[in-house]
Structure 1
Amino acid sequence: MNLNTPAFSSFTHDGLQLSYFDEGNPAGDPVLLIHGFASSALVNWIHPGWLKTLGEAGYRVIGIDNRGHGRSDKPGDPEAYRPWVMAEDAAALLDHVRIPEAHVMGYSMGARISVFLALNHPERMRSLVLGGLGSGMTEGVGEWDPIADALTAPSLDDVSHERGRMFRAFAEQTKSDREALAACIRGSRDLVSEQDMARIEAPTLIAVGTKDDIAGSPQKLAALMRHATPLDIPGRDHMLAVGDRVFKQAVLDFFGAL
């Protein structure tokens, strides 16, 4: 068991090679982690210490590199990145590692993918953690076309849009395929209706940083659901909330109470 630099494996789904890690306690309750846009399993879950935190708490921890990200294949068609399509990648990974039911935790885009997984495969959900996305799930999170433009601009110096610059810099930092990310951002923005959010029966924790100007309100999203609890992550923005100690402890407490 290596909770710092896990080995990655791959499986094939929908004609794509998709990368993942499977670490922690093989006999523990499984947690499936689904990362955010322009990130990866390594950047979203290993570097911020989530694998270590969950592994040391006795969980089996599985993290996928979403298509277009990390070590997974990177199609160029925006239609390949619809959130319900990526949710089927996650379901296929659970099949591949022979896990019938798991705690599912997604951050930002990964939270949206997790919701589509919960809607289309409710029997696979032991619980749901939505990080970095609150009422933006149903209302939208602003204009994203400038981000696609920023990702394909000749250089960062050519980008003036503030959020576009942030994601372009992040994509360069993570050495991502910017063309694939541009296709992803154009294809993965589908909203979830309030009626569909109300259909989710899995116990849910919704965690958003108090300085996050992307996610929207966790309280507003939780109010649409029967079994959801909102969490404010104090003093954290969209990029920094993911590794926060308050967030980690809240997730451990949430899982432990189920």
Structure 2
Amino acid sequence: METFLSDGVEIAYVDFEPLAQDRGEPIVLVHGFASTHAVNWLFTQWVKTLTEDGRRVIVFDNRGHGQSAKLYDPALFSLDLMAGDVVHLLDHLSIPRADIMGYSLGGRIATVLAIAAPERVRSLILGGIGENLIASSGLPGGLAEAMEAERIEDVDDSMLKIFRGFAEATRSDLNALAACVRGARKAIDPALLATIGAPTLICVGTRDDVAGDPHPLGALFRDVRVVDIPGRDHNRAVGDRLFKQAALEFLDTRP
């Protein structure tokens, strides 16, 4: 991975050239909490799918994650700062505007980016994002404490134990993740979603208890399509074939 500084924070990224040269349009992929660019986008074959579709694909590790800088002050994990990392990455690569795709926490970051810097967002793809985008802060209560528990066996809540197990599987810095949880808690004002002019696609598994029902968001965005991914929960929807098919069709038909 290459690195650059985003307001002094080292961010690791990879810039994949399209395998077909007829298009070359850039798309930036923003991964979810406790994940990495590799777990969220490489292992699930998203990078392969998009580069074979002729797209330039930029992936990176969010601050506090993967090979990017580990930070321990919650104030350094606000959604505004994390969205700013995407803007600074685009600036670093001299890309004026790109399609932006985010999953789970990455979807929240992408949404904040589309609100704060609409001129940089050509279209918006949100995975694992439902009504909890506006109804809650997104990450479950007690998650920071679950990251800080001495052992996973000390975590009683089954959902929190899944998050902790995932964080351990991705070899994450648990203290940095705890700071991220505390800093990134923010429900999005529903009125701000109507300011997003970029065409938007929302894809959520029908068994996703983390995201919530995505269909209420359909009345809040100006130009949006909502797609259900049958039988998939929050973790299994990300690499689903239907999700990829919907994204490719959306990218081919958006203005």
TM over 0.5: yes
Tell me, yes or no, if structure 1 residue 10 matches structure 2 residue 3. Answer: yes
SS in 2 for 1:52: helix
* 8 Å contact kept, 1:141–1:214: no
* 1:199 equivalenced with 2:195 (yes/no): yes
- Aligned residue in 2 for 1:182: 178
| Aligned partner of 1:40 among 36, 45, 64 | 36
Q: 1:140-160 CA distances to partner (integer Å, 9 max, x unpaired)? A: 167734111111111011111
Which residues in structure 2 correspond to 1:76-225 (within 5 Å)?
76-140=72-136, 144-225=140-221
- Name the SS for the 2:198 alignment partner: coil
Could you say what the CA RMSD is over the residues aligned between the two structures, in angstroms?
1.2
| Structure 1 segments (4+ residues) deviating >6 Å | none
Alignment gaps of 5+ in structure 1 = 1-7
Could you say if the C-alpha distance between residues 143 and 131 of structure 1 is closer, same or farther in structure 2, counting changes exceeding 3 Å?
closer
Q: Is the 8 A contact 1:145 1:186 kept in 2?
A: no
TM-score between both structures, scaled by the size of structure 2:
0.96
TM-score by length of 1: 0.95
The alignment covers a number of residue pairs equal to: 251
Residue 50 of structure 2 is matched in structure 1 by 54
3-state DSSP of counterpart to 1:32: strand
Other-structure match for 2:233: 237
Q: Deviations over 1:10-66 (max 9, x none)?
A: 101121110011003286000000000000101100000000000100000001110
Q: How does 1:9-28 map to 2 (within 5 A)?
A: 9-25=2-18, 28=24
Aligned equivalents of 2:115 and 2:137: distance in 1? 21
Q: How much does 1:107 deviate?
A: 0.3
Percentage of identical aligned residues: 49
